């Protein structure tokens, strides 16, 4: 059964889910295929918006969302997480880099570096110079990945991933598929694991 993890580096919940996925894989024997998608493109196509925007006039709901995040962080010991001071960050460049990295078999290392820079180190991840430094520090070919991010076929792949996700019912990220069945959000990982166990 194919398992997929659809993500954008700009989502704090995608980072939190990504950190927990190895535990799910270890318990189930599954291997998630990471699929870079552009969250802004998903929102635009579906008429959705971020929780911060959607809950701006519902302070109790926003407070509860933050409580659930703190509970998740405590449950999984994700003590390095911090909100990025530049949030929201335009992730177009680093999502294209994710596509290029996946093509070259470098996505696990690139995702680790870029997620950490975004949600642990507070990097300004829409700045190409910062991105290059993050990639180089991780031992990745920064110049090659940055150049590849500007190539038409890489741009087209990210658009195609995003459009395909929307066509399958995705309205936000992170999202997961087990076969053709979809789940959304970090709080559905237990359900995803149950489906994999079945």
Long-range own/partner contacts, residues 163-166 (CB < 8 A, 24 or more apart):
163/41, 163/45, 165/6, 165/35, 165/37, 165/42, 166/41, 166/42, 166/45, 166/46
CA distance 155 to 93: 10
40 has a pLDDT exceeding 80: yes
* 8 Å CB contact between 88 and 50: yes
DSSP type of residue 188 = G
Q: Please report, to the nearest 10 degrees, the dihedral formed by the alpha carbons of residues 87, 90, 93, 97 taken in order.
A: 50
DSSP type of residue 35 = E
Question: How much is the average pLDDT of 35-45?
Answer: 97
CA distance 45 to 74: 34
CA distance 184 to 5: 10
**What's the mean per-residue pLDDT of the chain?**
96
pTM of the model: 0.95
pLDDT per residue as tens digits for the range 76-93: 999 999 999 999 999 999
């Amino acid at each position: 059964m194919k398992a997929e993890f659809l993500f954008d580096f700009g989502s704090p919940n995608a980072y939190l889910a990504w950190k927990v996925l190895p535990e799910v894989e270890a318990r189930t024997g599954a291997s998630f295929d990471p699929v870079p998608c552009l969250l802004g493109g998903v929102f635009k196509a579906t008429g959705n918006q971020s929780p911060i925007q959607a809950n701006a006039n519902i302070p109790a709901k926003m407070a509860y969302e933050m409580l659930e995040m703190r509970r998740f962080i405590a449950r999984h010991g994700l003590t390095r997480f911090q909100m990025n001071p530049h949030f929201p960050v335009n992730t177009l460049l680093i999502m294209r880099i994710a596509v290029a990295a996946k093509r070259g078999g470098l996505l696990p290392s690139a995702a680790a570096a870029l997620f950490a820079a975004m949600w642990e180190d507070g990097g300004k991840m829409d700045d190409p110079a910062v991105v290059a430094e993050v990639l180089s520090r991780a031992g990745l070919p920064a110049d090659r990945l940055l150049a590849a991010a500007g190539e038409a076929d890489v741009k087209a792949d990210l658009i195609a991933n995003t459009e395909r996700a929307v066509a399958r019912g995705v309205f936000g990220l992170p999202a997961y598929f087990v076969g053709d069945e979809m789940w959304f959000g970090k709080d559905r990982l237990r359900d995803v694991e149950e489906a994999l166990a079945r």
